[in-house]
Each structure stands twice: as C-alpha cells, then as structure tokens.
Amino acid sequence: MPERTRPKPKNRFEQAYWDALARHQLSLQRCKGCGFVRHPPGEFCPECWSGEFEWQPLSGTGSIVSIIWYMKSLDARFPEVPYNVALVRLTEGPALISNVVGSAFGEINIGDPVRARYCDETDFTALLFEKGSAG
Amino acid sequence: MKQAFSRRVSIVGVGMTRQGAHGDADGYALALQAFRGALEDAGIRDKHRIDGLLGAKQFDGSGIDPVLFSRVAGITPSITGALDYATAAFTLHYGAALIASGACDMLAFVYGRNPPGSMVELSGAQEYDLVHGFFNAAAVHGLSWVEHMHKYGTTTEVLGRIAVQSRRHAELNPDAAFREPMTMDDYRNSPSMIWPLREYDVCRMSGGAAAIIMASNEVARDCAKMPIDFLSIGREATHALERGIQMSFSPERRAAKQLYEAAGIGPQDVDVLFPYEATTVAAAAALENYGFCEPGGCEAFVGDGSRIGINGELPMNTHGGHLSGGYLIGLTHHVELVRQLRGECGPRQVPNAKVGLYASGGGIRAQFYHAATLFARGDWNA
Ligand SMILES: [Zn+2]
C-alpha cells in the first residue's frame, strides 16, 4: 500500500475541504458572485475576487483528461508499480490530479467516465476515482 | 512582449565548462570557470565592466545566487537578480529588458551546479502531490504526450528518433555529458519509467556551468566576436492544471505568433532550432507549436530523424540538447546557438546558419510558462 501524505492545509478553506472528504463528501466552493467552482480552496474567487461562496456538494463524477502510469517506483512512499496518476475533469468543472483504482494498465483511457472512491487513511481521507458512471 | 526590443540587445560572449561528471567540484567554481570563458570570448579584459549580474536556482536549491557569485568573482555589479522561474529564456529576457531600458550596459547570466546523483539520477525530481504519488517534472510531459497520442494517433517512435538524434549530436560534441552511441533499439528497450515515457525520454542530472554576456548593440561593437542579436521574444502563460488545461504545450502557439510577428519572419526562416527539452516530448511539441509542421504532424516531420540532423532541413539541438548534452536550464542551448550563428561549431556546424530559435516551456506550481527567443547574426537579412 502506498504511504499517502496529506498536505498541511494552508488555510481554513482547505481544512474544510479535507473535513468534507473525511465524511466521504466531495465539496468545492461555488462563488456566489459569478458561480465559478474553484479548486484548490481559497478565500477569494479567482474569477471575480468575491469572498462570498457556498460549499457545493459535488456528484463525484468526472472523466479522464489524461493518464500516466508509473512503471518504476520513484519514491519509497509509493513502492508498488504500476500505479497511475490521472488528471480528472469533474462534471461540475474543475480538474484535479488523482489515481484511478481498480483498473489495470490499458483498461482505462482518456475520456472514460470515473466516479469518486473515498480511501480512508489513518489520519485523513484521500479522494480517488474508479472507472464507471454515477452511482 | 508584443514588439521587438527598442534598443538592440546582443549576446557578446559565451562560456561553458564540459558538462558531466565533475567529482566534488563546487557549482560556484564551475560557474567562475564559465564566466572567465565568457569574458575572454567577448574580449572583455576588465571584469568590472559587468554592471548587471543574474543567477538562477533550481527547485532543489542548487544553482547560483548572484550576490554570492559577485563576491566569489570580486565584482560589484549595480544590479543583481534571480527569478523564481529562472530557466534560460526567462532570465535572458529579463536581462535583455534591463539592457534595452538602459539600466545596464553589459550584463552576465551565470549558472552552474554539480548536483548529487550527477550522471545517474533522472532530472526533474519534484513532489507535486504526495496523496497520489505525482512525482517528477517528466510526469506533466507524460500527461501531455498521452493526450497527443490519443488525439493524433502519434506514438513514442518520434520521441525515440529525437532521443537518438540528440545522442548523435552529442557524439560530435566533446563537452556533452552523455556520448555513448545509442540506437532506436536501445531506445525501445530502455525501461519504461512513467508510461508512455522511457528512461531515454527524460534527461539525467549532470554537473557543469555556463555564462552568457549580453550588451547593448553599441557596446557590442567593441567586443571581440560577432554579436548575436535578439530579434524578438515570445511569451505565454496558462492557468493551473486544476482549471482543466489540456495539452500543456499548446499555448506555445501564441508565443510563436508574437515571436514571428515581431521579427517579421516565419518558421521557414529559422536555420537552427533549440528546444528546451527536459523530455523528448517538449522537443516534439516545439516542432508543431512553432510552426515547423501542423499540430499532430511531428512524427511524420521527424521521420527517420535525418531532417533534424546537422545537415537536415531543420537541425535541432546540435550540441545534444539536455537529453544527451546534460541538463543546464537551457544555457548550453544558448552557448551552442551563438556558436552556430558565428560558425564556430566545427564537425557539427550547420552550413550558413544565420537565424536561430530557442523555445522553452515548463510548469511551476501547476501553471505553465512558455518563453522563446529568435536570435540572428547582424547580416541575417543582408
Ligand atoms: Zn466569482
């Protein structure tokens, strides 16, 4: 198993993001000024600079923008290969880096639908994805 | 930058150490050697004429602090500086702007390092994301290439041709870091690292230094060698990965447009091309985005590799690039570009090279930046 390390939250908005993941809920900030859904979390909307927002629970669905496979371990904390790193575009807009679990090399490609899979570590919950459509 | 510089800026001197294994030599010692070489190359006897000094640091902290280097070299430039994202073109554009504005008359960009793991470890070590194991700058290039293959039906064969051709050029360059002959079979059999990239797609760490001296065109007339002029620059930046940017190299097309329009020339006028390639992907992308072929056309363009060879239609990275020459933030590319336009490259000289293009792109904190420069010798349009 990889030894996943959560980054230290840089602000209270990032803390709230991780707290939601611990409840197995992906939530991002939706700007009340212009509707933009932002990631990573922060105080102001990077589009209109409004500080007004609401946490919007997301569907957790998305699709693969691109995916690479580590065939050789580059770090002792991720010893098992192959494993993938994917850029996933969420249905609601933003894209994020994650892993698609449960699919072998060659079984997951650009454009494939994926859905959130929450992975509980000892002190936080990681947002991973698996191949498949909603629910 | 939408225009060429108002005051003409030239490179008047270049210096470089051999790239490769340097035992326990210090980066500053190597940089001093390169700086001495650049001053001699320019015919500058008085080191105190350098009134601007720029350095650069890598993410791992190695590199040159310009204030410390000033003390090492015993000079007192009135302006010193180092950028956050400092690979060659970014820093040279900053230096050129200092000269174009009149703030400096003669400015040096000095860089050197001798990192741990030299000649062995892959370059680009970075920890982007420790939740998901997203490591190494090559990973971002890998994501781009997977998109490219998906969209255009390209393969890794073109990347191999680029790696092999770079090695052929390095074989002709005694200052290159990696010179053992390499074939396409060697490439195909090299271990997959971050699929679709193999080990030979990614540059390795090496030690070395280089220095570039720039001056206003008026000052340049006093120098020993033929000045090489900045014709124009092109720059572009994108939002971060989280905004869903696809094809992280495609904004280069906007940098290319600025570059060519400001100079009033096109890709057909470029005699020699120097892409900054942390991986082979960056070189393949530059061929398309700087207009040498259509988007998706790089594999057909490169063919068996001869087209990008010394005597090909578009000689590329004639010193071996980063891939075989050794990684030095794009500075060895500039040293070679200047020497090519002066006609000093001996067995790897491109016949009658007058216009050279350096093109670079890269990511920092998941944003992408692109910087390119057209250089020419004074008689390029004679
Ligand atoms: Zn907004």
Domain ranges of chain A: 10-58, 59-135
| pLDDT at residue number B1 | 47
Asked whether the beta carbons of B234 and B354 are under 8 A apart, the reply is: no
| pLDDT at residue number B84 | 78
| 3-state secondary structure (DSSP) of residue B195 | strand
- φ, ψ at B212 (rounded to 5°): -125, 130
Q: How far is the CA of B12 from the centre of ligand 1 (A)?
A: 49
Interacting residues of B124 by C-beta distance below 8 A, sequence separation 6+: B136, B137, B138, B202, B203, B278, B279
Strand A113-120 and strand A125-131: the pairing is antiparallel
Asked whether the beta carbons of B318 and B336 are under 8 A apart, the reply is: yes
The dihedral built from the CA positions of residue A12, A17, A22 and A23, taken in this order, carries a sign that is positive
Q: What distance in Å separates the CA atoms of residue A102 and residue A115, rounded to the nearest whole number?
A: 12
User: Which chain B residue lies closest to A37 (C-alpha atoms)?
Assistant: B243
What residues are paired with A101 via a beta bridge?
A130
Minimum-distance CB partner of B147 among A66, A70, A96? A66
CA B242 to chain A, closest CA, distance in angstroms equals 5
- Token pair, residue B339, equals 């020497």
Give chain B's mean pLDDT: 93
Mean pLDDT, chain A cut into blocks of 10 residues (135 residues total): 91 96 97 95 96 97 97 95 96 94 97 98 97 85
User: pLDDT of B207-246, one tens digit each?
Assistant: 999 999 999 988 888 899 999 999 999 999 887 777 766 5
Interacting residues of A131 by C-beta distance below 8 A, sequence separation 6+: A100, A102, A103, A107, A108, A112, A113, A114
Minimum-distance CB partner of A94 among B129, B195, B242? B242
A107 class by beta-carbon count within 10 Å (0-12 exposed, 13-18 middle, 19+ buried): exposed
Asked whether the beta carbons of B237 and B369 are under 8 A apart, the reply is: yes
Minimum-distance CB partner of B241 among A97, A99, A126? A97
Per CATH, the number for B9-118+205-220 is: 3.40.47.10
DSSP track, A35-48: --EESS--SS-TTT
**Overall average pLDDT of the B177-205 stretch:** 97
Can you name the CATH fold of A59-135?
Answer: OB fold (Dihydrolipoamide Acetyltransferase, E2P) (2.40.50)
User: pLDDT of B16-45, one tens digit each?
Assistant: 999 999 999 999 999 999 999 999 999 999
What one-character DSSP code corresponds to residue B111? E
| 3-state secondary structure string across B25-70 | CCHHHHHHHHHHHHHHHHCCCCHHHCCEEEEEECCCCCEECHHHHH
Asked whether the beta carbons of B339 and B345 are under 8 A apart, the reply is: yes
> Of the candidates B356, B344, B348, B304, which has an alpha carbon nearest to the alpha carbon of residue B325?
B348
CA A14 to chain B, closest CA, distance in angstroms equals 14
| 3-state secondary structure (DSSP) of residue B321 | helix
Q: Is B202 on the interface with A (CB under 8 A)?
A: no
User: pLDDT of B334-347, one tens digit each?
Assistant: 999 999 999 999 99
Q: Is B152 on the interface with A (CB under 8 A)?
A: no
Whether B287 shows a pLDDT value over 80: the answer reads: yes
Minimum-distance CB partner of A67 among B125, B146, B191? B146
CA dihedral B183, A75, B113, B105 (to 10 degrees): 100
| pLDDT at residue number B244 | 61
- φ, ψ at B306 (rounded to 5°): -65, -30
Contact B139 A68 (CB under 8 A): yes
CB burial string B140-176: b at 16+ within 10 A, e below:
bbbbbbbbbbeeeebebebbbbbbbbbbbbbbbbebb
Asked whether the beta carbons of B373 and B89 are under 8 A apart, the reply is: yes
Cα separations in angstroms, B302 against B92, B222, B266, B277: 29, 41, 19, 16
Same CATH topology for B9-118+205-220 and B130-204+231-377: the answer is yes
User: pLDDT of B207-217, one tens digit each?
Assistant: 999 999 999 98
Asked whether the beta carbons of A34 and A54 are under 8 A apart, the reply is: no
- Token pair, residue B124, equals 């680009």
Whether B348 shows a pLDDT value over 60: the answer reads: yes
Q: How many residues does chain A have?
A: 135
- Token pair, residue B331, equals 């500075």
Q: What distance in Å separates the CA atoms of residue B353 and residue B272, rounded to the nearest whole number?
A: 7
If residue B96 lies in a helix (H) or strand (E), which one and from where to where? helix B88-100
Q: Is B193 on the interface with A (CB under 8 A)?
A: yes
Contact A83 B242 (CB under 8 A): no
Per CATH, the number for B130-204+231-377 is: 3.40.47.10
Contact A66 B135 (CB under 8 A): no
Q: Which chain A residues are closer than 8 Å to B153 by Cβ?
A: none
Domain ranges of chain B: 9-118+205-220, 130-204+231-377
CA geometry: angle B181, B187, B188, nearest 5 deg:
145
| pLDDT at residue number B365 | 64
- Token pair, residue B197, equals 């990239």
For testing contact with chain A, the best of B126, B141, B146 (most A CBs within 10 A) = B146
Contact A97 B129 (CB under 8 A): yes
Q: What distance in Å separates the CA atoms of residue B80 and residue A69, rounded to the nearest whole number?
A: 42
| pLDDT at residue number B192 | 96
Residue for token pair 């070590």: B125
Whether B150 shows a pLDDT value over 50: the answer reads: yes
CA B243 to chain A, closest CA, distance in angstroms equals 5
What's this model's pTM, rounded to 2 decimal places?
Answer: 0.95
Task: Give the pLDDT band (50/70/90) at residue B247.
Answer: low
Whether B250 shows a pLDDT value over 90: the answer reads: no
Contact A98 B127 (CB under 8 A): no
Interacting residues of B42 by C-beta distance below 8 A, sequence separation 6+: B12, B13, B213, B215, B223, B224, B225
CA A19 to chain B, closest CA, distance in angstroms equals 15
